[in-house]
Structure 1
Amino acid sequence: MKFRKLGRTGLEVSVVGVGTWQFGGEWGLNYTQAEADAILDKAAELHINLIDTAECYGDHLSESFIGDYLSRRKREDWIVATKFGHQFHDLFSRTDAFKPEEVLAQLDASLKALRTDYVDLYQFHSGPDQVFDNDDLWTLLDKQVQAGKIRHLGISIGSNDNLHQTAQATKVNADVIQVVYNRLDRVPEQRVFPSCEEQNLGVLARVPLASGYLSGKYKPGAEFQQNDVRNNHDAEQRNEKLKLVEEIRRNEVPEGVPMAEWALAWCLQHPAVTSVIPGCKTPEQVESNARAADLELSVEKA
């Protein structure tokens, strides 16, 4: 495994992390603690130290799996990133909750679920500009940093062209931007990444496998399980993406290299990107994801 400094935080994070939206039940599987443990144990074995979760991956459900695991391991071995701003109601159903008093309650609930006294990275979660531009919110968060509940603040931008929030990261004392970035979606290269580099922000690339489309497992016309978030995608657009994936596989992926590993390594080639945070349903997928670190220097941009 390779490691990079997460912007100006000083944290050394593995270039491949573990995304845990799947633990919340919206990717076709319901997890047991033993299954979550197996995924995180494999990550630890491979020297992955970054876990990304959120308040609304289930009602703090993903965090609870992680917290149970961490309670039986060394907390200091892990960099835990979670998020705030949404109230989970049911699968694919949540509402915004960005008022300062709501965020404070979410933070305390996240700390309880994670069974920890602090989170390493607490991220504004895909909220609109009008709630982002609330000085009272960032004043509250700064106080939580001073109290030791939060080590660093971040912004998980909803639109991957949201320069408004990215450009104000330093002003609100945020050190990290999380953004959708993958071979099918290169929008951040135009405006977001230059702003991140100018401010020395860490960058976490989420959805680096394009919701699994770049995993190499799916062909045009593929169907997904009922409680899989990809069923909410437009069917025509889904098939167009899968056709493009086939072209990329033929023209860009070196022979003998698994497409998923190549796709993660492709993201890591951009100098602004610190780490990719792919989801993983099994320990085997964690192992495949980790191998992308070894491909990092051998992949060229198209």
Structure 2
Amino acid sequence: MKYRRLGKTELNVSVIGLGTWQFGGEWGKQFTQDEVDAILDKGQELGINLIDTAECYGDHLSEAFIGNYIGRRKREDWIIATKFGHHFHERFTRTDMYGAQDVQKQLDSSLKALQTDYIDLYQFHSGPDTAFDNDELWTMLDKQKQAGKIRHLGTSIGSNDNLHQTEASTKVHSEAIQVVYNRLDRTPEQRVFPSCERQDLGVLARVPLASGYLSGKYKPGAVFDKTDVRHRHDPENTRRKLEEVERIAREEVPEGVNMAEWALAWCLRHPAVSAVIPGCKNPAQVESNANAAKLVTE
């Protein structure tokens, strides 16, 4: 495994992290604690130290799985990033909750679910600019930092071209940006990444495999059943993406190299990117993801 500094946080994160949206059940699979334990054990075995989760991956369900695991391990072995701003109701249904008092309650609920006294990176979760620009929210969060409940603040931008929230990061003491970035969507390279580099913000690249399209497993015409999150995607857009994936596999991926591993390493080639946070359903996928670190040259 290789490690990089997460911007001005000075946290030393593994370049491959563990994304955990799937633990909330919206990938069409209900996880057990034993399955989560096996995934996290494999990650630790391979040198992964970064876990990214959120308050609304289930109603703190993903956090609770992680907390149960962490509670039986060494807390200091892991860098835990979670998020705030939504209340989960049912599959793909959430209510925005960005008010200072609401977020303070969310923070306490996350700490309880995660079975920890502190969160390493607490991220504003894909909210509108009007919610982000609330001084009362960031004042409350700064007080929680002073109280030791939060080590660092971050922003998970909903639009991967949200320059407003990225540019305002230093002002609100946000030290990291999470953004959708992959070989099929290079939008952040234009404005967000240059701003991150100017401010020394860490960057977590989410959806680095483009919802699995860059795994190399699917061909144009693939149909996803109703339990798969990709069933919600526009069919024509899916077809175009998979045709582009075929071209990339043919023209860009070196012969003999696993496409998913190549796609993760491709994200990490950009100097602004600190780590990628792919999801995984089992220990074998964790191992495949971790193998991408071998393709990273710096």
Above 0.5 in TM-score? yes
Residue correspondence of structure 1 range 219-258 to structure 2 within 5 A: 219-258=219-258
Q: Which moved more, 1:57-66 or 1:223-232?
A: 223-232
Aligned to 1:191: 191
Shift of 1:49: 0.0
SS in structure 2 of the partner of residue 175 of structure 1 = strand
Aligned to 1:269: 269
SS in structure 2 of the partner of residue 7 of structure 1 = coil
Amino acid at match of 1:175: E
Aligned to 1:260: 260
Residue correspondence of structure 1 range 126-275 to structure 2 within 5 A: 126-275=126-275
Aligned to 1:111: 111
Residue correspondence of structure 1 range 13-24 to structure 2 within 5 A: 13-24=13-24
Amino acid at match of 2:128: P
Aligned to 2:3: 3
Q: Does 1:88 align with 2:68?
A: no
Task: Please give the alpha-carbon distance, in whole angstroms, between the structure 1 residues aligned to 2:272 and 2:46.
Answer: 24
Task: Please give the alpha-carbon distance, in whole angstroms, between the structure 2 residues aligned to 1:245 and 1:22.
Answer: 23
Task: Please give the alpha-carbon distance, in whole angstroms, between the structure 2 residues aligned to 1:152 and 1:286.
Answer: 26
Q: Unpaired segments of 5 or more residues in structure 2? A: none
SS in structure 1 of the partner of residue 205 of structure 2 = strand
Task: Please give the alpha-carbon distance, in whole angstroms, between the structure 2 residues aligned to 1:227 and 1:114.
Answer: 27
Amino acid at match of 2:104: L
Shift of 1:230: 1.2
**Is the contact between residue 92 and residue 229 of structure 1 (CA under 8 Å) also seen in structure 2?**
no
Task: Please give the alpha-carbon distance, in whole angstroms, between the structure 1 residues aligned to 2:52 and 2:267.
Answer: 17
Amino acid at match of 1:149: K
Aligned to 1:38: 38
**Is the contact between residue 71 and residue 115 of structure 1 (CA under 8 Å) also seen in structure 2?**
yes
Task: Please give the alpha-carbon distance, in whole angstroms, between the structure 2 residues aligned to 1:57 and 1:231.
Answer: 19
**Is the contact between residue 80 and residue 120 of structure 1 (CA under 8 Å) also seen in structure 2?**
yes
Q: Percent identity?
A: 74
Q: Does 1:62 align with 2:91?
A: no
Shift of 1:224: 2.3
SS in structure 2 of the partner of residue 171 of structure 1 = helix
Task: Please give the alpha-carbon distance, in whole angstroms, between the structure 1 residues aligned to 2:297 and 2:186.
Answer: 19
Kindly provide the CA deviation profile for residues 63-104 of structure 1, in whole angstroms up to 9, marking residues without a partner as x.
010000000100000000000000100001111010111101
Aligned to 2:25: 25
Kindly provide the CA deviation profile for residues 10-37 of structure 1, in whole angstroms up to 9, marking residues without a partner as x.
1100000000000011112110000000
Kindly provide the CA deviation profile for residues 204-254 of structure 1, in whole angstroms up to 9, marking residues without a partner as x.
000000011001111112222322221111111011111110110000000
Task: Please give the alpha-carbon distance, in whole angstroms, between the structure 2 residues aligned to 1:225 and 1:19.
Answer: 22
Aligned to 1:282: 282
Task: Please give the alpha-carbon distance, in whole angstroms, between the structure 2 residues aligned to 1:106 and 1:224.
Answer: 34
Report the TM-score, using the length of structure 2 for normalisation.
0.99
SS in structure 1 of the partner of residue 8 of structure 2 = helix
